[in-house]
Amino acid sequence: MDMPIDMQHQAMGYDRTATMFSPEGHLLQVEYAEKTVRLGSSSIGMVCSDGVFIIADKRVEDKLVVQKSANKIYEIDSHIVSSVAGIISDARVLIEKAQVLAQQHRITYDSPIEPELIIKDISNIKQQFTHYGGARPFAVSMMLAGINDKTPQLFTSDVTGSYFSYYANAIGEDDNKIKEALREKYKQDLTIKKGVKIALEIFEEVQGKKFGLNRFELSYISIDEVKLKKFDGDSIKEFIK
């Protein structure tokens, strides 16, 4: 009986380091990290006609945990916000790096940094950890939303360090199902309020009985104000009226 390919890889040690390719051309440690990301809680980001938003499932059901301490959306600067999926302790390192980059840019140039410069630098760091011996990849997918010169933008960086700009995207658990729904329902003329309503409808479809507004937090930045606004739990109800 032939041994399955995955077991062959493990037996031959191809999965022991991020610097060794398997005969099929895979970096197995990187692929394992990608699987970890898909175990993380979900987030949806969307570019709208009047701004950009990210809504995230905090997935914290333990009554002993202080809900406000379980954030899934992070402020990078007043005009940039980010959400992550994967190992949160890994993500914290990247989030703090992004925050420092944003502040350094303001101090040096007296102007807000472009969102793409942030995601590019973070992606470079993630890429480095896919080919250094003795280090494992960051098991994090990062979604970054912001305003650049009155233009709303959304980026996502994966485990490998690749990043793309999106009109709408999802990361974390059930991301493929959510993306399929976004492809059907997303339109570029959506307002933030309508976009959030659609995102919540998609979450309800995917999560079923587990769905509840108390699970979510929302952050958006409008083109007019270019100022981050945050909502969570019952305060999100105004977007579904």
Q: What is the pLDDT along the chain (241 residues), one digit of tens a residue?
A: 454 656 555 545 667 776 777 777 778 888 888 999 999 999 999 999 999 999 999 987 778 888 777 889 999 999 999 999 999 999 999 999 999 999 999 999 999 999 999 999 999 999 998 887 778 899 999 999 999 999 999 999 999 999 999 999 999 999 999 999 999 999 999 999 999 999 999 999 999 988 988 889 999 999 998 899 999 888 898 887 7
Q: Which amino acid, one-letter code, is at 212?
A: G
How far is residue 196 from each of residues 74, 150, 199, measured CA to CA in Å? Answer: 18, 20, 5
Residue 205 backbone dihedrals phi, psi, to 5 degrees? -65, -45
User: What architecture is the 28-239 domain classified under in CATH?
Assistant: 4-Layer Sandwich (3.60)
Instruction: Give per-residue burial for 125-136: e unless 16+ CB within 10 Å, then b.
Output: ebbebbeeeeee
How far is residue 201 from each of residues 52, 188, 205, 207, 225, measured CA to CA in Å? Answer: 18, 18, 6, 10, 27
Q: How far is CA 16 from the centre of its chain?
A: 27
3-state secondary structure (DSSP) of residue 51: strand
- Can you give the length of the chain in residues? 241
Is the CB of residue 49 less than 8 Å from the CB of residue 222? no
> 236 is written with which tokens?
């999100």
